[in-house]
């Protein structure tokens, strides 16, 4: 059987899946990619968010499966929407016959903040959690016109 060699940058690496090359993991990783997908590799939970704005409301959908609605904290302060969560899990297994105690701790936390326009109505805010998605709807004040785009001529 022939071994395939892949040349990726300065260091060649073997294509055989059973051979794990240190240089492939350490040197060729994209350390400067700080998009959401890279946070999972760092052991962090940064949930993905969809934002939608209409003339009457702003909708936020935050993907956080496996949580409960009690785990979330949604607040607005000075036109800043803050969505955060802290969840702690503790498991303990005691086996007196085998003479051991096994303890596992898991702590998850995240915080997302969003700047909101001055047109929001702080009395028209609703949050629901269903099927792993946190839905937050922030209503806008009635009668306030959205500013239109104005083109400025250059002299």
Give, for all 155 residues of the chain, the pLDDT tens digit: 444 444 455 555 444 444 444 444 444 555 444 444 444 444 555 889 999 998 899 999 999 888 888 999 999 998 899 999 988 888 888 888 878 788 887 878 889 999 998 889 888 999 999 999 999 999 998 877 666 778 888 98
Helix (H, G, I), strand (E, B) or coil at 38: helix
Q: What span, in angstroms and rounded, lies between the C-alpha atoms of 63 and 80?
A: 20
Fold (topology level) of 46-140: Immunoglobulin-like (2.60.40)
- The pTM for the full model equals 0.59
Domain spans of the chain?
Answer: 46-140
On the 0-12 / 13-18 / 19+ scale of CB atoms within 10 A, 127 is middle
In order of 55, 132, 137, the CA distances from 143 in angstroms are 11, 35, 19
Which tokens sit at 150?
Answer: 């104005």
The alpha-helical segments, DSSP class H, found in the chain are 22-26, 36-39
Q: How far apart are the first and last CA of the chain?
A: 73
Q: Is the sign of the CA dihedral 135, 141, 146, 147 positive or negative?
A: negative
* Beta carbons within 10 angstroms of residue 140's beta carbon: 20
- What is the chain's alpha carbon radius of gyration, rounded to the nearest angstrom? 24
Q: Which residues pair with 127 in a beta bridge?
A: 136
């Amino acid at each position: 059987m022939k071994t395939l060699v892949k040349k990726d940058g300065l260091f060649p690496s073997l294509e055989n899946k059973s051979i794990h090359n240190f240089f492939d993991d350490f040197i060729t990783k994209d350390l400067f990619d700080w998009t959401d997908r890279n946070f999972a590799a760092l052991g962090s939970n940064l949930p993905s968010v969809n934002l939608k704005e209409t003339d009457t409301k702003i909708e936020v959908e935050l993907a956080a499966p496996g949580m409960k609605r009690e785990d979330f904290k949604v607040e607005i302060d000075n036109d800043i929407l803050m969505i955060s969560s802290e969840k702690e899990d503790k498991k303990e297994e005691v086996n007196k016959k085998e003479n051991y105690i096994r303890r596992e701790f898991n702590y998850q936390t995240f915080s997302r903040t969003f700047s909101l326009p001055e047109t929001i109505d702080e009395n028209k805010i609703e949050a629901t959690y269903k099927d792993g998605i946190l839905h937050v709807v922030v209503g806008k004040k009635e009668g306030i016109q959205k500013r239109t785009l104005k083109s400025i001529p250059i002299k």
